[in-house]
Amino acid sequence: MKMLAVRNLRLCTKDCLCLYVCPTGATDTEDSIIDLSKCIGCGMCADACPSKAISMVPEEYPPQQKKAEHVLTPSHTLANNKAKAEGMARLLAREAESGELYRLLKAVERSLRLVNEDLLRESGYMLPQSANTHELLASWVQEPPAPDFPVEAAKKLLELLPCNEPLEKKMHKYRCTVCGYIHEAEELPPDFSCPVCRQPASAFERIE
């Protein structure tokens, strides 16, 4: 698995040993962020760093754990309630008469957003590269949730982000009306014929 070096700027103590050991100069940048186009993933910088500020991460992330629908149902209910409270706090902050109440409600609004982000992260949207994220973005491109929705942004994200797991195919079952043979596929090709009784695709009916 190809690895890449990333630097945690909060931990970096500028001892610069990573600059000495990097064979490609990827660690030496004007904004202290390791240049991923130059990084070859050798790990020398991470080993040399005395502050443990550099870690190696995979270029491709593994697929995320699937969430049970049984958990997602109460999770979505809670997420919608948090969103409702956040909207209410935002509105009340705008109308607040005192500076104290304004600050309190702004804190509540921010807190609710953070709690909801965390909740939705655990509801199958942890990684931007996940199939869930891709499917959601694709559904917005195909059918924008509102006429003024910024479709271009969703399209661009689909282009930029690789998907780290195979997208779930919608499989259907087709039954041969003559012999009862069942064929499973996304779609039945027009030149398909029944492997048992040789009937053409037109003899099949979709049952699922």
Question: What are the Cα distances from residue 102, in Å, to 99, 135, 196?
Answer: 5, 39, 74
Find the shortest distance in angstroms from Cβ 113 to other proteins: 6
Find the shortest distance in angstroms from Cβ 4 to other proteins: 10
Q: Which residues bind other proteins (CB under 8 A)?
A: 6, 33, 36, 57, 65, 67-89, 91-92, 98-104, 106-108, 110-122, 125-128, 133, 136, 145-146, 148-150, 153-154, 156-157, 160-161
The residue (of 35 and 188) whose beta carbon lies closer to other proteins is: 35
The residue (of 97 and 186) whose beta carbon lies closer to other proteins is: 97
The residue (of 73 and 177) whose beta carbon lies closer to other proteins is: 73
Find the shortest distance in angstroms from Cβ 52 to other proteins: 16
Q: In the beta sheet, which residues pair with residue 176?
A: 204
The residue (of 110 and 198) whose beta carbon lies closer to other proteins is: 110
* Burial label, 64 (beta-carbon count in 10 A; 0-12, 13-18, 19+): middle
Task: Identify the residue whose tokens are 């997420």.
Answer: 79
Per DSSP, which regions of 140-181 are E strands? 172-176
- 175 near 182, Cβ under 8 Å? yes
Q: In the beta sheet, which residues pair with residue 34?
A: none
Find the shortest distance in angstroms from Cβ 107 to other proteins: 5
- 79 near 119, Cβ under 8 Å? yes
The residue (of 132 and 204) whose beta carbon lies closer to other proteins is: 132
Say how far apart CA 145 and CA 12 lie, in whole Å.
43
The residue (of 65 and 190) whose beta carbon lies closer to other proteins is: 65
Question: What are the Cα distances from residue 169, in Å, to 165, 166, 172, 186, 187?
Answer: 12, 8, 9, 7, 10
Find the shortest distance in angstroms from Cβ 82 to other proteins: 7
Find the shortest distance in angstroms from Cβ 17 to other proteins: 21
